C-alpha cells in the first residue's frame, strides 16, 4: 500500500518539532521516576523554608504577652529582681538539682544564679548558665539578658538620683533602633531565602529530563535511528528542548504554589509571623522566571550533548545551579538599588527582581523586558551551540 506523506513544506519544521515534543512528553509522563521528581523536587525548597519558619517562630520570636519561666538559684536573695522579671512576664522557678547538666542536656534553656551576697544589696553579680550551641535557647537567653540589663539601668538611675546626680551621665549616648523594613518581622528574613531556592529549582527542575532525552537517548542507542530520520537537527532539538521546558515550567508552577501554600499555612498557624508574599507576587516571580527556564533548559541540553555519558552529564548538571548563583554572591557586594546592568545580566537580573518582589517593591517593566531579552538571547546562543554539537558525527557514539 502507499502511505503518502501529507505534510506541507512550510510548516514542516513546526510539525517535526511538535512530533518530537509530543513523543517526549508521552514517553516521560509514563516514567514514574520523572513524575515523582517533578512533583517532589519542587516541594523540597518550600518544605525546608516552612520548617525553618516554624523553628524560627518557636525559638527566635517570643510572642507578645507569652509567659516565660526561667530556672533560678537563689531567687530569694533578690526579691526586687524577681518582682521586675514577673512584671515583664518572666517567672523564676527553682533550678534542677544539677543545673549545669540540665542546661547542657537541654532540659532547661538556662539557669540564672543569684549569689547570697546579693541579699539586701544594690550592686551584685548574677551568673547565667547557658549553652550557646543550642539555637533553641536563643529566645529565652536574649529575653533574660535584656531584662537584666533593664533592671541594672533602672537600679543605676535610682542610685544616681539618690546621689543628686544626673542619671543621663550613666549612659551619655542613648541608642534607639527604628526598623524601617517593609514588614519588620523575623519571617521576612526567611522569606528572602525564597530567591536562592527558586534559582536552584529553575536549574534543577527539568535537568533529569534534559539529560535523559539527549545523553540518555545516546546511551540507549535510540539516537542513531532518530538521526537517520529526515529531520533537521535543530528541529529535533527544538522538540526536545520544548519538552524539557514544559517539565521545568510544571516544576516551577508546583514550586511557587507550594511556597505560597506551605509558608501561608505556617504563618497562619503562628500569631507572630508576618504572612508570606501574596499570590500576585508569586505570579509575577513566575513571569520573571520564564526566560530563565528557557536558559536553564538550553544550558542543560548543551551540557548533556557535550558529555560523554549520562553519568558525566549528571555530574555537570549538579554543578549548574552554582553558575546563576554566582551573580547572587556578587549581589551582596553590589550597590543597593536596581540598575539596568543588573537586569541585563542573566540570572542576576532575575534574582534582583525576585528580591524586590518579595520585599514588596515594584519591578520596573523596562528591567523586566531587558532581563527577558538578554536571557532569551543567551538561551538562543546555547541552543545554537547544542545544534552545532548535534551535527557532530560522534554525537550518537558512546565514549
Q: How many CB atoms lie within 10 A of CB 45?
A: 22
- Per rule CB under 8 A, is residue 229 in the interface with other proteins? yes
Options 19-27, 101-109, 292-300, 304-312: segment touching other proteins (CB under 8 A): 19-27
Residue 2 as a binder of other proteins (CB under 8 A): the answer is yes
Give the C-alpha separation, 108 to 130, whole Å: 9
Angle at 48 between CA 312 and CA 275, to 5 degrees: 140
Closest distance to other proteins from the beta carbon of 304 (Å) = 17
Stretch that binds other proteins, among 16-24, 65-73, 287-295, 376-384 (CB under 8 A): 16-24
Closest contact distance (angstroms) between CB of 208 and other proteins is 15
Q: Is residue 157 near other proteins by the rule CB under 8 A?
A: no
Cα–Cα distance for residue pair 304/389, rounded to 1 Å: 10
Burial 170-196 (b: 16+ CB within 10 A, else e): eeeeeeeeeeeeeeebebbebbeebbb
Judged by beta carbon, residue 125 or residue 228, the one nearer other proteins is 228
Contact with other proteins (CB under 8 A) among 12, 62, 134, 308 = 12
* Alpha-helix runs per DSSP H in the chain: 12-29, 32-59, 79-87, 99-104, 138-162, 186-191, 194-204, 207-211, 217-220, 223-227, 233-268, 279-306, 310-319, 322-331, 340-344, 348-358, 365-391
Q: Which of 250, 354, 352, 240 is nearest to 297 (CA)?
A: 240
- Residue from 8, 87, 121, 177 touching other proteins (CB under 8 A): that is 8
- Minimum distance from CB of 294 to other proteins (Å)? 24
Q: From the list 16, 77, 260, 367, which residue makes contact with other proteins (rule: CB under 8 A)?
A: 16
Beta carbon of residue 214, minimum distance to other proteins (angstroms, whole number): 14
* The binder of other proteins chosen from 86, 107, 220, 311 (CB under 8 A): 220
Which cell is 89 given?
512576664
- 223: three-class secondary structure by DSSP: helix
- Least Å distance, CB 309 to other proteins, is 15
Q: Which is nearer to other proteins, 133 or 228 (CB)?
A: 228
Site size toward other proteins, by CB under 8 A: 35
Task: Give the residue with the Cβ less far from other proteins, 120 or 230.
Answer: 230
Q: Are 283 and 252 in contact (CB under 8 A)?
A: no
Q: Is 6 in the site for other proteins (CB under 8 A)?
A: yes
Give the list of residues 6+ apart from residue 328 with CB closer than 8 angstroms, or none: 195, 196, 199, 347, 348, 351
Q: Is 308 an interacting residue with respect to other proteins (CB under 8 A)?
A: no
19 near other proteins (CB under 8 A): yes
Q: Which of 131, 232, 312, 364 binds other proteins (CB under 8 A)?
A: 232
CB of 17 vs other proteins, minimal distance in Å: 11
The interface region with other proteins, picked from 17-25, 110-118, 147-155, 264-272 by CB under 8 A, is 17-25
CA dist 277 to 60, 183, 280, 317, 336, Å? 21, 11, 8, 30, 21
- Per CB under 8 A, does 399 bind other proteins? no
d(CA 361, CA 355): 8
Q: Which of residues 25-64 bind other proteins (CB under 8 A)?
A: 26-27, 30-31
Residue 389 CB, shortest distance to other proteins, in Å, is 15
Amino acid at each position: 500500500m502507499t502511505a503518502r506523506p501529507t505534510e506541507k513544506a512550510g510548516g514542516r519544521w513546526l510539525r517535526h518539532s511538535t512530533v518530537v515534543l509530543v513523543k517526549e512528553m508521552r514517553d516521560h509522563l509514563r516514567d514514574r521516576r520523572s513524575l515523582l521528581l517533578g512533583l517532589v523536587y519542587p516541594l523540597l525548597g518550600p518544605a525546608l523554608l516552612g520548617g525553618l519558619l516554624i523553628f524560627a517562630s518557636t525559638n527566635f520570636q517570643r510572642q507578645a504577652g507569652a509567659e516565660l519561666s526561667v530556672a533560678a538559684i537563689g531567687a530569694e536573695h533578690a526579691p526586687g529582681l524577681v518582682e521586675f522579671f514577673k512584671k515583664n512576664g518572666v517567672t523564676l522557678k527553682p533550678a534542677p538539682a544539677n543545673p549545669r547538666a540540665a542546661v547542657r542536656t537541654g532540659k532547661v534553656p538556662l539557669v540564672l544564679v543569684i549569689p547570697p551576697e546579693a541579699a539586701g544589696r544594690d550592686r551584685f553579680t548574677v551568673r547565667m548558665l547557658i549553652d550557646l550551641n543550642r539555637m533553641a535557647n536563643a529566645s529565652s537567653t536574649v529575653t533574660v539578658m535584656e531584662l537584666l540589663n533593664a533592671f541594672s539601668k533602672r537600679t543605676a538611675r535610682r542610685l544616681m538620683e539618690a546621689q543628686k546626680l544626673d542619671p543621663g551621665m550613666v549612659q551619655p549616648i542613648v541608642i534607639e533602633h527604628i526598623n524601617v523594613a517593609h514588614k519588620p518581622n523575623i519571617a521576612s528574613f526567611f522569606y528572602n531565602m525564597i530567591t536562592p531556592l527558586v534559582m536552584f529549582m529553575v536549574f534543577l527542575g527539568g535537568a533529569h529530563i534534559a539529560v535523559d532525552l539527549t545523553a540518555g537517548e545516546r546511551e540507549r542507542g535510540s539516537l542513531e535511528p532518530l538521526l537517520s530520520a529526515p529531520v533537521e537537527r535543530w528541529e529535533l532539538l527544538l522538540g526536545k528542548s520544548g519538552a524539557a521546558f514544559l517539565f521545568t515550567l510544571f516544576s516551577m508552577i508546583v514550586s511557587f504554589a507550594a511556597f505560597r501554600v506551605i509558608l501561608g499555612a505556617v504563618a497562619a498557624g503562628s500569631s507572630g509571623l508576618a504572612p508570606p508574599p501574596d499570590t500576585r507576587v508569586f505570579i509575577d516571580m513566575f513571569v520573571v522566571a520564564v526566560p530563565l527556564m528557557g536558559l536553564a533548559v538550553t544550558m542543560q541540553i548543551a551540557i548533556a550533548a557535550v558529555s560523554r555519558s549520562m553519568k558525566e552529564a549528571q555530574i555537570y548538571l549538579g554543578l549548574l545551579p552554582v553558575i546563576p548563583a554566582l551573580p547572587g554572591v556578587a549581589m551582596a557586594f553590589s550597590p543597593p538599588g536596581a540598575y539596568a546592568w543588573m537586569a541585563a545580566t542573566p540570572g542576576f537580573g532575575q534574582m534582583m527582581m525576585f528580591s524586590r518582589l518579595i520585599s514588596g517593591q515594584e519591578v520596573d517593566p523596562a528591567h523586566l523586558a531587558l532581563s527577558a531579552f538578554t536571557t532569551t538571547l543567551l538561551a538562543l546562543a546555547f541552543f545554537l551551540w547544542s545544534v552545532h554539537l548535534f551535527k557532530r558525527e560522534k554525537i550518537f557514539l558512546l565514549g
